[in-house]
Structure formats: structure tokens, C-alpha cells
């Protein structure tokens, strides 16, 4: 952490870093794309061409923030460096803010991660399966559970090891819903491996090379993929171990995207904080309805 504070230990260092990420080739007015600006108190920029006034955080997930950039940067570091993410309770304790403030910060960091993950599609050989997220639901076996239904997709390398992952909640298991969600996660040129669930029936008609792998001893509706089942187990352990409660359906997508963002950059030992900073700098503000 000493390296982090040597780079981002002061408010001015944080401002310079955010400026470089948001405008790597110099200031660009968000209204007219002008490059010449004047500085105005308190730390604002006024475009010389159209007189539009903006700031470093305007138009990003940090829009209208009352927190210092240094606080934001510490929160980014703590979240990015944690393999399992960080809860609002733990973040509030570590950066000395109220729980509601920590939740506010994490909600926006996760939004930046979500926006980043949505830009990429999995390709190559991809395993896809259904899963459920939530606590224990006694007496509700199989897909009739009250847990949140999700689709998980993991791309594999030449050694059948996981490369990248996407997870998304779904509204149900009908073919239209499943196909739509898969299209949002996986490139149509990919080769998909699934079980025999009926919701996967339309995938080949969409353009995918679709391979159904059915296990004789597990039944037609089951496909055992060691990679998928390992990632499902890790994800469930993350939800229970980090957040200690059943996530709400309203916010589950942001938790899943946070996990995928960190997993997909797990081999970046030094630069993951830099990737999250980049995601925040290039993000768009979270809608008010989404922040509740």
C-alpha cells in the first residue's frame, strides 16, 4: 500500500491521475469538444469556446460527489485489491465514513465495473450453465427455488482452463430470455457447450455453434463442467462470505459484474487499480433510480 500512497497520497496527485485518465490527450469540452479552457474556483474548467463549465468528476460515476478524490481513490484501491470485493460495512470502517456513504461509493464503483464489462463479449469455446444465487431455500428443489436465477458463461483456453467470465441474472428459463442474455455475454461466433435445458434450444439458430453435452448418470438436464461448477461455487462463497446476506434482485447484477471485473483481471497484479480508475474516469453517471 506504500506504493499506492506514493502515487495517490495527496488530493493533487489524485486530480492529476484522474485528469490523465479522462483526458489523456488534453482537455476536451463535453459540449463542443473544444480544447482550450480556463480554470475556475472551486477546481472547475470553463471551455473557452462555448463557456461550458465542467469538473473532473462531472459526467462520471463520481458526479456530484461531496467526497474528496483521495477518499475515492482509497476505496478503489481497497475494492480492486480484494479478490472477493469488499462490503460496505468493511469499507466504512477502513475509510472512516458512515455505512450509507460507503454503500454510495461501492454502488458507483460497481456501476463503473458493470459499464466496463458490458463492452466485452466472450469468444472461442464457452461453457454456459444456469445457477441460482441467494440463501438457503428449504423445501424448494431445482428451478422452483426462490433464489435469483442467473446464467454463467466462462470462456476456456486451449488447456480448458478459465479465461474470462460473465454472469447475469435472468427473468426465467424460456428460450427467448435465455437467448437474449447469452447474446449479451457471448459473441455469436463462439462455440457454446451447455446441458439439455430447454431454454438453450434456440442458440444454434442464432448463429452459435451449439454443443449439448448430456451426462448419462446426471440426466438429460445436467452437464458437468468442472470449470463452471468451480466458478459457481466460488461465486456463491463470495456472496455469502463477503456480504453475509441474500442479495436483493435489484442489486444482484452489480455484485455479479464486480466479481467478473475482478476475476477477468486476476492476472494483472500491479495494474488492477489502474484499470478500475480508468473504468471510473470513462464511466457515465449512475441514474438516480438505480442508486436507491
Give the pLDDT band (50/70/90) at residue 292: low
Give residue-wise pLDDT tens across range 100-121. Answer: 999 999 999 999 999 999 999 9
Q: How many Å apart are CA 57 and CA 128, to the nearest integer?
A: 38
Nearest to 115 by CA among 289, 288, 292, 275: 275
Asked if the model's pLDDT at residue 85 lies above 90, the reply is no
Provide the CA 60 distance to its chain's centre, in angstroms.
16
**Closest alpha carbon to 12 in 57, 43, 45:** 43
Which pLDDT tens digit goes with each residue over 277-290? 999 999 999 864 55
pLDDT at 39: 94
Confidence tier at 166 by pLDDT (50, 70, 90): very high
Distance (Å, whole) CA 73 – CA 116 = 18
* pLDDT reported for residue 144: 47
- pLDDT tier, 223 (very low <50, low <70, confident <90, very high otherwise): low
pLDDT digits (tens, 9 = 90+) for 23-77: 999 999 999 999 999 999 888 999 999 999 999 999 999 999 999 999 999 999 9
Mean pLDDT, to the nearest integer, of 221-246? 79
Residues 148, 169: Cα–Cα separation, whole Å: 7
CA gap 214, 195 in Å, rounded = 6
Rounded Cα distance, 268 and 43, in Å: 33
pTM of the model: 0.89
Q: Is the pLDDT of residue 139 over 50?
A: yes
Segment 5-22 mean pLDDT: 96
For the four alpha carbons of 225, 83, 111 and 46, in that order, the dihedral sign comes to negative
**pLDDT range class, residue 137, cuts 50, 70, 90:** low
Compute the distance between CA of residue 193 and CA of residue 211 in angstroms, rounded to an integer. 5
Q: Residue 215 has what pLDDT?
A: 62
pLDDT of residue 178: 97
For residue 270 the three cell numbers come to 500491479
Q: Is 162 helix (H, G, I), strand (E, B) or coil?
A: strand
Amino acid at each position: 500500500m506504500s506504493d499506492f500512497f506514493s502515487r495517490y497520497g495527496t488530493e493533487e496527485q489524485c486530480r492529476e491521475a484522474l485528469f490523465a485518465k479522462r483526458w489523456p490527450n488534453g482537455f476536451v469540452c463535453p459540449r463542443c469538444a473544444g480544447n482550450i479552457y480556463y480554470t475556475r474556483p472551486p477546481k472547475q474548467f470553463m471551455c473557452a469556446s462555448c463557456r461550458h463549465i465542467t469538473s473532473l468528476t462531472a459526467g462520471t460515476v463520481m458526479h456530484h460527489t461531496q467526497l474528496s478524490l483521495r477518499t475515492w481513490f482509497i476505496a478503489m484501491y481497497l475494492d480492486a485489491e480484494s479478490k472477493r470485493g469488499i462490503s460496505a460495512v468493511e469499507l466504512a470502517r477502513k475509510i472512516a465514513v458512515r455505512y450509507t456513504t460507503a454503500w454510495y461509493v461501492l454502488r458507483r464503483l460497481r456501476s463503473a465495473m458493470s459499464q466496463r464489462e458490458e463492452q466485452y463479449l466472450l469468444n472461442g469455446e464457452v461453457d454456459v450453465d444456469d445457477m441460482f444465487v441467494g440463501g438457503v431455500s428449504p423445501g424448494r428443489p431445482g428451478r422452483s427455488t426462490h433464489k435469483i436465477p442467473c446464467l454463467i458463461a466462462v470462456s476456456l483456453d486451449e488447456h480448458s482452463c478459465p479465461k474470462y467470465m460473465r454472469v447475469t441474472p435472468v427473468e426465467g428459463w424460456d428460450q427467448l430470455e435465455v437467448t437474449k442474455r447469452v447474446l449479451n455475454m457471448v459473441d455469436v461466433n463462439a462455440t457454446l457447450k451447455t446441458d439439455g435445458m430447454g431454454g438453450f434450444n434456440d442458440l444454434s439458430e442464432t448463429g452459435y455453434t451449439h454443443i449439448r453435452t448430456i451426462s448419462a448418470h446426471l440426466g438429460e438436464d445436467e452437464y458437468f463442467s468442472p470449470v463452471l461448477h468451480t466458478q459457481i461455487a466460488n461465486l456463491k462463497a463470495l456472496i455469502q462470505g463477503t456480504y453475509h446476506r441474500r442479495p436483493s434482485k435489484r442489486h444482484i447484477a452489480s455484485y455479479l459484474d464486480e466479481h467478473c471485473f475482478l476475476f477477468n483481471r486476476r492476472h494483472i497484479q500491479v495494474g488492477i487499480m489502474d484499470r478500475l480508475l480508468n473504468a471510473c474516469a470513462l464511466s457515465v453517471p449512475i441514474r438516480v433510480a438505480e442508486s436507491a
